[in-house]
Amino acid sequence: MSVNNEVKYNFPDNFWWGSAASATQTEGAANVDGKGQNIWDYWYEQQPERFFDGVGPQDTSQFYVKYKEDIKLMKEIGHNSFRMSISWSRLFPEGKGEINPKAVEFYNNVINEFIENGVEPFVGLFHFDMPMELQKIGGWANREVVDAYVNYTSICFELFGDRVKKWFTHNEPIVPVEGGYLYDFHYPNEVDFKKAVQVGYHTILASAKAIQAYKNQGQDGKIGIVLNLTPSYPRSQNPADVKASVLADAFFNRSFLDPSVKGEFPQELVAILKEEGFMPEIADGDLEIIRNNTVDILGVNYYQPRRVKAKEHLPNPEAPFMPDRYFDNYVMPGRKMNPHRGWEIYEKGIYDILINLKDNYGNIECFISENGMGVEGEEKFRDETGIIQDDYRIEFISDHLKWVHQAIAEGSNVKGYHLWTFMDNWSWTNAYKNRYGFVSVNLNKDGERTVKKSGQWFKAVAENNGF
């Protein structure tokens, strides 16, 4: 570790300081230069009322036109790395078939701009944005989409792999499963547990096949996945509560973590799926592909823990099957909350995840790929100098970083910290309600950017490699 006596929490040399964002949430230009529709463009067209203040994904934060300015700002506030995503429907307007040359040009320009500015681009390949043409044939529920995805990702490796050395097959693959097929917050907003399992299975298979394609091309970078991990805490050490937390963990964490890192599925989950008749369709050879193509690196998104207790009432057998048939959520008295987003703040969770990865997942190379605090109405914190005084965000980040630091002291292989997010961006149905950025975006002034106090603070953290 580099030691700077003015800082109490020093981080290892070459620690990755930066932030993350996704194509749909930042690029805008949703229907220009040949981009095809994705599920968000389509859903907004169909049901604009679902989106906060009726704001859709059309313009978002205009990264498509302002990327040079944005990358310069990233550099200015200390970023040495940044996770972006490629929009599948920009590159392949129909999800497969003809490639869009304008998209190739755009992503080449963006990647080159990052490199010229000394900000390493980490590139995600799927961040919730299924091309609409593929959703029409069932999206991830249809195995053909796995093939289309492997084709799309292979082309990305060929086009950009000479400069991009960190790839991520999916961002939070459980979220489209939950949102799209269980809890009604992503398109196609169905409630169908059987389909949800098939969708989840296909995304895991697609990830393994993309990793296989990457290795087969002889690419020399690292390829991984980004998972949202929610440590699952039981209400008490009572065996029934502990069992509930083990099952919640199997459903929401290990379902994707185990196949991604270990190449196998958690047996507790397989047993339930078999017993309830929800096993997905698995083709010959799939499990071998999953076993042999695990990730090199893991991105950890951490926002909040999950607290559970044993079920108090027997589930209604007539109700559609949901994972919470096996546990009840538990609201811990006195918990600290981010009232804007309604999420618990529990900083030690980030440490518990990292130690779990160290102890039970071969201490796989990992980094914090998202962590952050969405706040409504931040304009009221803008002072007379024009800067948003987001001290709460500084406190949030430093409280989490202290636990990351502790995990490193205990041997965690965590290599970096990326905030969600660089600039205020559009969110899935919440649009611009909650602001997460180091940089504010003024939607009334053509997306004008202003660095917040947290951005200035982060610059010092990155420069000192600690705080």
Distance CA 89, CA 134 (A): 10
Among 129, 172, 286, 352, binds ligand BG6 (CB under 6 A): 172
> Is 370 annotated as catalytic?
yes
Min. distance of Cβ 206 from ligand BG6 in angstroms?
Answer: 18
Under the binding rule (CB under 6 A), the answer on residue 171 touching ligand BG6 is yes
C-beta closer to ligand BG6: residue 188 or 374: 374
Give buried/exposed letters for 316-336 (b at 16+ CB in 10 A, else e): eeeeebebbbbbbebeeeeee
Under the binding rule (CB under 6 A), the answer on residue 151 touching ligand BG6 is no
272-331 binders of ligand BG6 (CB under 6 A): 301
Structure tokens at 64: 């498509």
Min. distance of Cβ 430 from ligand BG6 in angstroms?
Answer: 5
DSSP string of 248-275, one letter each residue: HHIIIIIHHHIIIIISS--HHHHHHHHH
Among 57, 234, 349, 374, binds ligand BG6 (CB under 6 A): 374
Under the binding rule (CB under 6 A), the answer on residue 346 touching ligand BG6 is no
Under the binding rule (CB under 6 A), the answer on residue 63 touching ligand BG6 is no
With CA atoms as reference, report the closest residue to 111 among 86, 133, 134, 132: 86
Distance CA 10, CA 8 (A): 6
Catalytic residue among 27, 172, 344, 370: 370
Under the binding rule (CB under 6 A), the answer on residue 61 touching ligand BG6 is no
Under the binding rule (CB under 6 A), the answer on residue 85 touching ligand BG6 is no
| Helices 143-160 and 193-216: angle between axes, nearest 10 degrees | 30
* Helices vs. strands in the chain: H and E counts, helices first: 16, 15
Tell me the CA distances in angstroms from 201 to 130, 147, 177, 301, 442, one per residue in order: 16, 14, 10, 20, 40
Under the binding rule (CB under 6 A), the answer on residue 341 touching ligand BG6 is yes
- Which one of the spans 93-101, 267-275, 426-434, 442-450 is the region binding ligand BG6 (CB under 6 A)? 426-434
Min. distance of Cβ 436 from ligand BG6 in angstroms?
Answer: 6
Among 420, 422, 438, 457, binds ligand BG6 (CB under 6 A): 420
Tell me the CA distances in angstroms from 20 to 97, 300, 305, 418, 436, one per residue in order: 29, 12, 21, 6, 11
Binding site for ligand BG6 (CB under 6 A): 22, 25, 171-172, 175, 228, 301, 341, 370, 374, 420, 427-428, 430, 434
The residues annotated as belonging to the active site are 370
